[in-house]
Amino acid sequence: MADEDIKKPRKRTATICGYPLSIFFIIVNEFCERFSYYGMRTVLVLYFKYFLLWDEDFATTIYHTFVALCYLTPILGAIVADSWLGKFKTIVYLSIVYAIGQVVMAVSAISDITDTNKNGTPDNMTFHIALSMLGLILIALGTGGIKPCVSAFGGDQFQDHQEKQRSTFFSIFYLSINAGSLISTLTTPMLRAHKCGQTQQDCYPLAFGVPAVLMVVALIVFIIGSPMYTKNPPQGNIMVKFGKCVGFAVKNRFRHRSSQYPKREHWMDWAEEKYDKLLIAQVKMVLKVLFLYIPLPMFWALFDQQGSRWTFQATTMNGNFGALTIQPDQMQTVNPILILILVPVMDSVVYPLISKCFNFTPLKRMTVGMFFAALAFVAAALVQIQIDKTLPDFPSSTQGQVKFINMVNSKLEIQADNHKINLGAFEASEDYLTFNNKFFLFLGPEQNHTVTLDNGTRNTIAITEGSQLEYEKFNDITSKPEKGANAIRFLNGFGSFLNITVRDKVFNFTSNMSQYLNISQGNAKYIIKDNNGNVCDYTQELGFGSSYTLIIPPTFRFGDACSENIASVMDMEPNSFHMAWQIPQYFLMTSGEVVFSVTGLEFSYSQAPSNMKAVLQAGWLLTVAVGNIIVLIVAEAAKLPDQWAEYILFASLLVLVCIIFAIMGYFYTYIDPAKIEAQFAELDPEKKEKMKNLEMPRKGSVEGHKEERRSSDSSCDDESRQTKI
The residues, any chain, with a CB within 8 Å of residue 142's CB and separated by 6 or more, are: 94, 95, 97, 98, 99, 101
Are the CB atoms for 364 and 665 separated by under 8 Å? Answer: yes
Assign 717 a pLDDT band (cuts: 50, 70, 90): very low
Low-confidence winner among 115-124, 201-210, 263-272 (lowest mean pLDDT): 115-124
Q: What is the 3-state secondary structure (H, E, C) of 297-309?
A: HHHHHHHHHHHCH
CA pair distance 562, 528, nearest whole angstrom: 10
pLDDT at 105: 97
- Note the pLDDT tens digit of each residue in 510-564: 788 999 999 988 899 999 999 888 999 999 999 999 999 999 999 999 998 899 9
Rounded to two decimals, the pTM is 0.79
Q: How far is CA 122 from CA 18, 111, 112, 298, 518, in A?
A: 56, 5, 7, 38, 18
Ranges 193-207, 369-383, 658-672, most confident = 369-383
- Cα 482 from Cα 544, distance rounded (Å): 10
State the burial class of residue 672 (Cβ atoms within 10 Å of its Cβ: 0-12, 13-18, 19+).
middle
Would you say residue 699 has pLDDT above 70? Answer: no
Look up residue 81 and give its DSSP letter. Answer: I
Selection from 32, 184, 185 nearest residue 95 by Cα: 32
Is 60 exceeded by the pLDDT of residue 715?
Answer: no
12 phi and psi, to 5 degrees?
-80, 140
Chain segment 57-97, per-residue pLDDT in tens: 899 999 999 999 999 998 888 888 878 888 899 999 999 99
CA dist 293 and 661 (Å) reads 9
- Name residues whose C-beta falls within 8 Å of residue 707's C-beta, 6 or more positions apart in sequence: 167, 697, 699
- The four Cα atoms 408, 411, 417, 418 give a dihedral, to 10 degrees, of 170
Q: What angle do CA 173, 177, 179 make, to 5 degrees?
A: 110
Q: For 29-43, 423-437, 606-620, which range has the lowest pLDDT when averaged over its residues?
A: 606-620
Say if residue 704's pLDDT is above 50: no
Mean pLDDT value across the chain? 85
pLDDT at 702 over 80: no
Name which of 431, 422, 519, 439 is nearest 473 in CA terms.
Answer: 439
